[in-house]
Amino acid sequence: MEAKKFAIDGLIEFTPRLFGDPRGVFFESFSARLMAGAGADEQWVQDNQSKSQRGVLRGLHFQRPPHAQAKLVRLAQGRALDVAVDLRRNSPTFGQHQSVELSAERGNIFYIPVGFAHGFLALEDETLFLYKCSDYYAPPSEGGLRWDDPGLNINWGTEVAPLVSPKDAILPRLSELESPF
């Protein structure tokens, strides 16, 4: 498994080695040893799954301490543009984001540590998104940012407004948020 680090400290993209033959494809989608060696050393306590149609945007979400979550995200089907926004107030990259195109075909995995908001845009119908979390979902700790905050300047790569939940449509902008990290 290959690990790629980004300019925003803590974010890692893992790309597994795919083994294919006429029967199909096999790959290792999780290795605690390899991921910890690259800096993604978490105890995962919850797995989540969502299915989205093309154009659905979920996020940008996070959980505040004491239930802050690191996430390990990948796709079982489809493609998605995955985005992490640095919310660590003392970070030199506070307010910056990193985008990664996830693909079930490539099997790539994105590690997002505590201190980031996270969201994704489904690029294909029936996109099946899988993610591990380092803490349990805790509604009183949940928070989020507007996906279209001009201060974040995220290029979602779409000319058509994505489909977002009513809850996500009214999230605050970064300038309105008191950083929880």
61 counts as catalytic: yes
C-alpha angle 45-65-162 in degrees, rounded to nearest 5:
80
Structure tokens at 26: 């096999």
Which has the closest alpha carbon to 10: 117, 96, 112, 94? 112
Q: What is the largest CA-CA distance in the chain?
A: 53
Task: From first to last of the 181 residues of the chain, give the pLDDT tens digit.
Answer: 899 999 999 999 999 898 989 998 898 888 889 999 999 999 999 999 999 999 999 999 999 999 999 999 999 999 999 999 999 999 999 999 999 999 999 999 999 999 999 999 999 999 999 999 999 999 999 999 999 999 999 999 987 789 999 999 999 999 999 878 8
Neighbour tally for 30: CB within 10 Å: 14
pLDDT, residue 161, reads: 87
CB 98 within 8 A of CB 8: yes
Which helix (H) or strand (E) is 58 found in, with range? Answer: strand 57-63
**At the topology level of CATH, where does 2-176 sit?**
Jelly Rolls (2.60.120)
Among candidate residues 111, 118, 131, 137, the one labeled active-site is 131
Please give the model's pTM, rounded to 2 decimal places: 0.94
Q: Which of 61, 97, 111, 118 is catalytic?
A: 61
136 is known as an active-site residue: no
DSSP-assigned states of every residue in 1-24: -EEEE-SSTT-EEEEPPPEEETTE
Q: Domain extents for the chain?
A: 2-176
